[in-house]
Structure 1
């Protein structure tokens, strides 16, 4: 099984990954909270059939087959460094980055950390942190249930309620299909360690990408795309509109979709991703697309950093004792 060993404090992080295809156009898929990279199976199956593409999925630190370092380095910014270490290991000069939920948070951090390595950025059901990033109470309830429930049938039923929209679950055929899928994954899964569990929860709670950093992403040489479901129980839909407004990019709203977009609307998402990647490829073959940075860019950044809402977010983070 393929692993890459990355430095993590004084220990070594063993990051498990899987490669699909062998094309020259690279895709990095980043999964979310306590979920293995194999959950991208519907996307990897789609792009494996496209000979021009190669994609990689991996298990974040503290999850699945990757190791759980006994350290405090569990944050979305550190996990972005893990992702960068992976593409360095694969010797990928650039790649398309797709992240969902906590994976989208990691993708945002990666875009801030190494914008020159990204060809396009796609964010599914995610947020930039701060006050608006707090999960709805129903989402917190489902997460707690998934941690403490013991009966596997009850666990899977809770997962379905957490990830999928009512319209999907009211369809008996689709409900059974997703039930069987999650039951199979549940029985094959590697239970996260206590360190991994706490680390992932801490990473989500501590996540924060400032407006200044979002503006830096906006004026980076790659295009962004945001997708959101209208019945997401874990991440408020409004967060995607905030991201869309600041990043100045296209937003796709999927009606009757929950948090598990990559499964629930797999066909639609795959086609949108493929269209996006092909558009990038065609644009690059003609002329290098780059957004023009306004002359008052530095002033704009400074103004955003000093705005009231930004300072409020920072105060709350400091009050809670979370430091990036």
Structure 2
């Protein structure tokens, strides 16, 4: 379903029914709400939660900003590398406001926010700037965005910056498969056929390459988030794989160190993806944390 949030149309999936504590899942760069594994969503529902997922702006079935152009990614990347401001169409704070608008549209007072990768960055901003609405924060394979943290491995960065094929589903799937194979790590990589099926389903639902570029620049332009993390007072869990070649584990450690009382869990052999074996590793940590956070949250505001 679509809701009006922060002045734009946002696609939302609402699972699990009312009168339950609410978990909001925020997905990462260029990804859609369907990228959250069914097994993870179902495990949360089975554990007694209502699960809210949405397509971020410029992805999936939510409103896009193609009329505003993309700017020059290469030039903005150089500016970021040399510590100069990155000019973006919108910022991660705008995307956090979109998430807040979804809560308003659904008349939800407080949520347990779980974000993956860029979604973790958005979740961090939501927890830091709207503390009354966030009962707990879980940041998965994400970063504080602080200067000086390590970036993607060179081969991953090179493929990420390569222009995708202009046409043809097979070529686009092959291009994306190469990237997923690199970032998943050697231990928990999915079979190519499974990845291909997942990619085709996503592309047929929505293919938004220009939106991906604008989201990338929003991440690059988010230079003040690290300083905001000290404001976060809710229970916080940071989950990060020790084999992540896209967002190295030092980024997760830094995030946890900047949030008072945050719990950090290093996940052995996890890369930058959520295949079934990784979901099985994450769920015990996530469910235990969420149940503890619910017990610490007044029932009327969870």
Q: Please tell me the TM-score bracket, short chain as reference.
A: 0.7 to 0.9
Aligned match for 1:191, one of 200, 207, 220: 207
Tell me if 1:39 matches 2:35.
yes
Q: Structure 2: which 5+ residue stretches go unaligned?
A: 69-87
Tell me if 1:256 matches 2:269.
yes
Name the residue aligned to 2:181. 161
Change (3 A) 1:88 1:185: same
Q: Structure 1: which 5+ residue stretches go unaligned?
A: 289-324
Give the deviation of 1:210 after TM superposition: 4.4
Aligned match for 1:62, one of 44, 58, 64: 58
Give the deviation of 1:235 after TM superposition: 0.7
Q: d(CA) in 2 for partners of 1:213 and 1:36?
A: 27
Q: d(CA) in 1 for partners of 2:187 and 2:221?
A: 33
Name the residue aligned to 2:293. 280
Conserved 8 A contact 2:173-2:196: no
Q: d(CA) in 2 for partners of 1:163 and 1:268?
A: 18
Give the deviation of 1:252 after TM superposition: 1.0
Q: d(CA) in 2 for partners of 1:62 and 1:29?
A: 17
Aligned match for 2:222, one of 175, 199, 207: 207
Tell me if 1:232 matches 2:244.
yes
1:68-111: CA deviation from partner (whole Å, max 9, x where unpaired): 13456421111000000011111111110000110011011111
1:130-185: CA deviation from partner (whole Å, max 9, x where unpaired): 3226433333223234734761452243133233111223xxxx425642543443
> Which protein, 1 or 2, shows the higher relative CO under an 8 Å CA cutoff with sep ≥ 6?
2
Q: d(CA) in 1 for partners of 2:129 and 2:216?
A: 22
Q: d(CA) in 1 for partners of 2:209 and 2:13?
A: 22
Change (3 A) 1:33 1:153: closer
Q: d(CA) in 2 for partners of 1:149 and 1:276?
A: 44
Change (3 A) 1:268 1:280: same
Q: d(CA) in 2 for partners of 1:210 and 1:86?
A: 22
Tell me which moved more, 25-34 or 136-145.
Answer: 136-145
* TM-score calculated relative to the size of structure 2: 0.82
Conserved 8 A contact 1:164-1:264: no
What is the root-mean-square deviation in Å for CA atoms of aligned residues? Answer: 2.5
Which of the two has higher C-alpha Rg? 1
> How many residues of Structure 1 are paired with residues of Structure 2 in the alignment?
273
Change (3 A) 1:35 1:249: same
Change (3 A) 1:16 1:125: same
Conserved 8 A contact 1:156-1:179: no
